[in-house]
């Protein structure tokens, strides 16, 4: 295969395989099945990428929110007549609770991204099994 362009690879593969004529083997069916496999992997990769991007955006949002909250807490502590230690402790406790909620959201987003990617591959695997059953049927 001389082409290094990803879009050419499947075309080169098709040319190579169609040169061989095997009795009782549906070459076109096999090639179509492989094309669907490649499309499913590409879709799974795109789904995973979208999940990673969403996760990254959520992390940036959480970091920004946390920094603003901490900046506000420090500003209040440094001002004359600042808050009492008890109210400062409450502020820290609220910040920690929010951080735990945010971490749970990140874990949920990662889980959803992984689940979506696995669903794409699982669906294609089930289709592949059905295609193989059809290709192996006697009389074809």
Map 11-25 to HEC letters: HHHHHHHHCCCCCCC
**What are the residue boundaries of the structural domains of the chain, listed by start?**
6-136
Handedness of CA 4, 8, 9, 12 (dihedral sign): negative
Which pTM does this prediction carry?
0.57
Tell me the percentage of the chain whose pLDDT exceeds 90: 0
pLDDT band per the 50, 70, 90 thresholds, residue 5? low
pLDDT band per the 50, 70, 90 thresholds, residue 3? very low
Q: Residue 140: its pLDDT value, please? A: 47
pLDDT in tens, 37-78: 888 888 888 888 888 888 888 888 888 888 888 788 777 777
pLDDT in tens, 11-41: 777 777 777 776 776 777 777 777 888 888 8
Please state, rounded to an integer, the average pLDDT across all residues of the chain: 77
């Amino acid at each position: 295969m001389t082409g290094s362009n990803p879009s050419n690879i499947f075309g080169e593969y098709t040319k190579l395989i169609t040169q061989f004529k095997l009795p009782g083997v549906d070459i076109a069916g096999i090639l179509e099945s492989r094309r669907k496999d490649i499309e499913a992997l590409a879709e799974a990769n795109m789904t995973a990428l979208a999940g990673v991007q969403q996760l990254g955006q959520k992390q940036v949002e959480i970091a920004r929110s946390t920094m603003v909250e901490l900046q506000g807490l420090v500003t209040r502590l440094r001002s004359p007549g600042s808050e009492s230690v008890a109210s400062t402790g409450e502020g820290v406790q609220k910040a920690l609770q929010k951080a735990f909620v945010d971490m749970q959201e990140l874990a949920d987003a990662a889980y959803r991204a992984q689940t979506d990617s696995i669903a794409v591959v699982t669906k294609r695997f089930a289709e592949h099994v059905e295609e193989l059953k059809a290709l192996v049927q006697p009389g074809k």
